[in-house]
């Protein structure tokens, strides 16, 4: 049997450079700051880090708008600092992934500057330019189709000097590259991938991995939202026909540097709920991506076409557990696929504020959610601050604290489209308080010192530090053994100790109708886990427990309360039982 590749049993820590650690008092996190925290990261027991974009960028979308793949955003540092970070990781036995953002560049990238300079420029065809349509009745100029951008408005921007539209699935400052042109692809591979592979990185998290192959007739999307001239169109531009070909090319580039396949790709896979579609990307035989980020879990309680079009806190446990089960079926033993387990990233609100209880039960619920994600199969991803139970920004903060382009555009859209209706605006603020991407981008809480130790006391951090930093921070939790942080370290430890059941076991939901307690099994060879998680504040009996443990030798591997292991679950109590399935059944 081939040995398990390193990344299958790995836990990977995600870093958001702007918000991790500032080293020079300008209020912006930076690469020297990350380097200064590598010992901390190593102490968690993770195997690798993923660093969000640190490339040069005008920052319309926090670095997901890259103006030069081969340079570093000056406030973060220089290329030499990335080299030092790579060396610092490798010296500690950590691997390092960078973010690969190649669906679009910044409008300030030299390629786009050339492309927009004239219709005859050799790089014109490197981006997606189309002539306008005209409304037959009014003769008004219109975008080439009705697609809506992810950040609101048309996905097409008019370029006055050259009298054409260009496509931008995200902000207008993020023009989409034309992947149909082979010269564009070769330039991308060389600049965005090879430049960094030559410097020794161990792989990429691949942004929006399924959007490169667009339908070349750019058809209108079906009208799902009659109140808006622009329609969500992800079903049309995601998972297009040439994706396999493009990913094969990407793999060839990786293999050139890492012939043994130990450099990995983690593709971000939005708008792809069907298991068979996911499998085409992650089947080992297909050789496309090492694994993907599925959206099932993090999309829970989001509006279908617009994240903020939701009523906060109306999710149900049966819905959440169905989403968990859906991602887990990729690793049910019937496929050669692989996926990831995660509850947070830089695009998501904090998990304690979504499915736990940031108030009185903060600590118990943070630990309970840690048990959930750490027990799932797939490669585990942990987002900075999640390991100390960081929570969403307080609801009483002014809307002006929200900086993300998605949040700002949404709020403005509500103001304008409702003529400042106070109820609509209040609902919009509540939706932001619940689900905005900003919550993940608050400064990391290192200590109870001013500015949470993220930056100098006198400095103004680029985002406000959470009010709760004196109670929730790394230093305090390092000193305290039963902290959320200590709990996470223990979980990562047992996950390493029993990879067969934790990272690769077959998931079975025991009671899909249960709205209070999530009970599941993870079946491995010779052993299994039984996981019981109370999602509420009532004491709950787990009816099935006796049957699941009966006649077997078992012990509680991890739990967030004291006890003998058989009592009813207290508020937000969770337990992970390790069961020896070989034990003879006692009558
Ligand atoms: O968070 C979203 C908008 O509400 C998602 O639709 C998100 O835009 C999508 O998951 C793609 O995300 C990635 O690419 C974006 C960037 O803004 C995100 O930060 C990144 O994770 C564009 O590069
Ligand atoms: Ca700085």
pLDDT tens digits, 256-288: 999 998 999 999 999 999 999 999 999 999 999
Q: What is the DSSP secondary-structure string of 32-48? A: HHHHHTHHHHHHHT-SE
The pLDDT score that the predictor gives to residue 584 is 56
Q: Return the ligand number nearest the Cα of 22.
A: 2
Residue 495 lies inside a defined structural domain of this protein: no
Residue 344 lies inside a defined structural domain of this protein: yes
The pLDDT score that the predictor gives to residue 1 is 65
β 133-134/141-142 pair status: antiparallel
| pLDDT, tens only, 123-176 | 999 999 999 999 999 999 999 999 999 999 999 999 999 999 999 999 999 999
The CATH number of residue 36's host domain is 3.20.20.80
383 and 304 belong to one structural domain: yes
Tokens describing residue 470: 């004196």
Q: What is the DSSP secondary-structure string of 242-288? A: THHHHHHHHHHHHHHH-TTS-SEEEEE-TT---HHHHHHHH-TTTTS
pLDDT at 586 over 70: no
Residue 530 lies inside a defined structural domain of this protein: yes
Please, what is the angle between helix 275-282 and helix 243-257, to 10°?
30
| pLDDT, tens only, 558-574 | 999 999 999 999 999 99
253 vs 189: CA distance, rounded Å: 7
Cα 69 to ligand 1 centre (Å): 18
18 lines ligand 1 (CB under 6 A): no
The CATH number of residue 119's host domain is 3.90.400.10
381 and 362 belong to one structural domain: yes
270 and 336 belong to one structural domain: yes
202 and 348 belong to one structural domain: yes
Pick the atom of ligand 1 nearest to 307's CA. Answer: 4
Mutate to test the pocket of ligand 1, among 208, 211, 292, 437 (most ligand atoms within 8 A of CB): 208
270 lines ligand 1 (CB under 6 A): yes
| pLDDT, tens only, 203-253 | 999 999 999 999 999 999 999 999 999 999 999 999 999 999 999 999 999
Cα 333 to ligand 1 centre (Å): 31
pLDDT at 585 over 70: no
Residue 95 lies inside a defined structural domain of this protein: yes
Tokens describing residue 527: 């052993």
449 and 532 belong to one structural domain: no
The band of 3, judged by pLDDT with boundaries at 50, 70 and 90, is confident
| Marked catalytic residue, from 202, 268, 406, 527 | 268
Last-in-domain residue among 487, 513, 531: 487
The pLDDT score that the predictor gives to residue 143 is 98
Last-in-domain residue among 487, 520, 544: 487
Cα 6 to ligand 2 centre (Å): 33
Mutate to test the pocket of ligand 1, among 347, 381, 413 (most ligand atoms within 8 A of CB): 347
| pLDDT, tens only, 72-126 | 999 999 999 999 999 999 999 999 999 999 999 999 999 999 999 999 999 999 9
Mutate to test the pocket of ligand 1, among 207, 340, 346, 440 (most ligand atoms within 8 A of CB): 207
Summary mean pLDDT of the chain = 97
The pLDDT score that the predictor gives to residue 351 is 98
Average of per-residue pLDDT across 303-328? 96
pLDDT more than 70, % of the chain: 99
Give catalytic status of residue 268 as yes or no.
yes
The band of 575, judged by pLDDT with boundaries at 50, 70 and 90, is very high
| pLDDT, tens only, 386-426 | 999 999 999 999 999 999 999 999 999 999 999 999 999 99
pLDDT more than 90, % of the chain: 96
5 lines ligand 1 (CB under 6 A): no
Residue 2 lies inside a defined structural domain of this protein: no
β 68-72/129-130 pair status: unpaired
pLDDT at 315 over 80: yes
94 and 115 belong to one structural domain: no
Residue 256 lies inside a defined structural domain of this protein: yes
* Alpha helices (H) along 31-140: 31-36, 38-44, 79-91, 110-117
Closest residue by CA, ligand 1 atom 12: 208
461 and 332 belong to one structural domain: yes
The pLDDT score that the predictor gives to residue 165 is 98
Residue 175 lies inside a defined structural domain of this protein: no
pLDDT at 52 over 60: yes
Query: Containing domain of residue 537, as a range?
Result: 505-580
54 and 155 belong to one structural domain: no
338 lines ligand 1 (CB under 6 A): no
64 lines ligand 1 (CB under 6 A): yes
Cα 408 to ligand 1 centre (Å): 14
Closest residue by CA, ligand 1 atom 6: 150
51 and 94 belong to one structural domain: yes
Last-in-domain residue among 487, 518, 538: 487
The pLDDT score that the predictor gives to residue 587 is 40
Tokens describing residue 478: 């390092």
Residue 174 lies inside a defined structural domain of this protein: no
393 and 407 belong to one structural domain: yes
Number of domains in the chain: 3
Give catalytic status of residue 521 as yes or no.
no
190 and 211 belong to one structural domain: yes
| Marked catalytic residue, from 81, 164, 207, 433 | 207
Cα dihedral sign for 189, 191, 192, 195? positive
| pLDDT, tens only, 446-486 | 999 999 999 999 999 999 999 999 999 999 999 898 999 99
367 and 426 belong to one structural domain: yes
pLDDT at 557 over 70: yes
| pLDDT, tens only, 495-506 | 999 999 999 999
483 vs 473: CA distance, rounded Å: 10
Q: Return the ligand number nearest the Cα of 33.
A: 2
476 vs 44: CA distance, rounded Å: 15
Cα 347 to ligand 1 centre (Å): 7
Cα 268 to ligand 1 centre (Å): 9
């Amino acid at each position: 049997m081939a040995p398990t590749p390193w990344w299958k049993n790995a836990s990977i820590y995600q870093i958001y450079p702007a918000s991790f650690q500032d080293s020079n008092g300008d209020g912006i996190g930076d690469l020297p700051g990350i380097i200064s925290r590598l010992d901390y990261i190593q102490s968690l027991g993770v195997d690798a880090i993923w660093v969000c974009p640190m490339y040069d960028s005008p920052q319309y979308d926090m670095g997901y708008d890259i103006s030069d793949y081969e340079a570093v955003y000056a406030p973060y540092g220089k290329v030499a600092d990335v080299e030092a970070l790579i060396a610092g990781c490798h010296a500690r036995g950590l691997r390092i992934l960078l973010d690969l953002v190649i669906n679009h560049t910044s409008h300030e990238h030299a390629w786009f500057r050339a492309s927009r300079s004239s219709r005859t420029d050799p790089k014109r065809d490197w981006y997606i330019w189309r002539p306008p349509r005209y409304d037959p009745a009014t003769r008004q100029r219109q975008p080439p189709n009705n697609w809506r951008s992810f950040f609101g408005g048309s996905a097409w921007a008019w370029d006055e000097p050259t009298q054409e539209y260009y496509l931008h699935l995200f902000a207008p400052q993020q023009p989409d590259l034309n992947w149909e042109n082979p010269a564009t692809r070769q330039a991308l591979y060389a600049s965005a991938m090879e430049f960094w592979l030559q410097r020794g990185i161990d792989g990429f998290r691949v942004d929006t991995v399924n959007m490169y192959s667009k339908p070349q007739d750019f058809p209108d999307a079906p009208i799902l939202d009659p109140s808006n001239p622009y329609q969500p169109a992800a079903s049309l531009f995601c998972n297009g026909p040439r994706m396999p070909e493009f990913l094969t090319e990407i793999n060839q580039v990786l293999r050139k540097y890492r012939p043994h396949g130990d450099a990995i790709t983690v593709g971000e896979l939005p708008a792809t709920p069907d298991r068979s579609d996911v499998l085409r990307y992650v089947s080992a035989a297909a050789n496309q991506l090492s694994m993907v980020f599925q959206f099932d879990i993090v999309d829970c309680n989001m509006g279908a076409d617009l994240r903020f079009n939701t009523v906060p806190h109306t999710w149900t446990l049966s819905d959440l557990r169905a989403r968990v089960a859906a991602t887990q079926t990729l690793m049910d033993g019937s496929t050669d696929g692989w996926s990831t387990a995660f509850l947070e990233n830089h695009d998501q609100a904090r998990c304690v504020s979504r499915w736990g209880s940031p108030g009185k039960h903060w600590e118990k619920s943070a630990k309970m959610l840690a048990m959930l994600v750490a027990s799932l199969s797939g490669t585990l991803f942990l987002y900075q601050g999640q390991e100390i139970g960081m929570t969403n920004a307080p609801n009483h903060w002014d809307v002006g604290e929200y900086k993300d382009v998605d949040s700002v555009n949404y709020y403005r859209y509500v103001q304008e489209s409702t003529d400042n209706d106070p109820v609509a605006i209040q609902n919009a603020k509540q939706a932001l308080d619940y689900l905005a991407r900003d919550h993940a981008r608050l400064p990391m809480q290192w200590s109870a010192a001013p500015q949470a130790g993220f930056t100098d006391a006198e400095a103004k951090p680029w985002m406000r530090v959470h009010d709760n930093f004196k109670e929730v921070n790394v230093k305090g939790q390092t000193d305290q053994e039963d902290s959320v942080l200590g709990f996470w370290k223990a979980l990562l430890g047992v996950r390493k100790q029993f990879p067969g059941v934790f990272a690769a076991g077959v998931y079975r939901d025991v009671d899909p109708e249960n709205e209070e307690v999530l009970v599941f099994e993870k079946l491995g060879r010779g052993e299994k886990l039984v996981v019981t998680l109370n999602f509420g504040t009532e004491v709950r009996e787990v009816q099935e427990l006796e049957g699941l443990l009966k006649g077997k030798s078992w012990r509680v591997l991890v739990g967030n309360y004291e006890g003998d292991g058989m009592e009813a679950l207290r508020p937000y109590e969770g337990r992970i039982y390790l069961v020896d399935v070989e034990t003879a059944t006692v009558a």
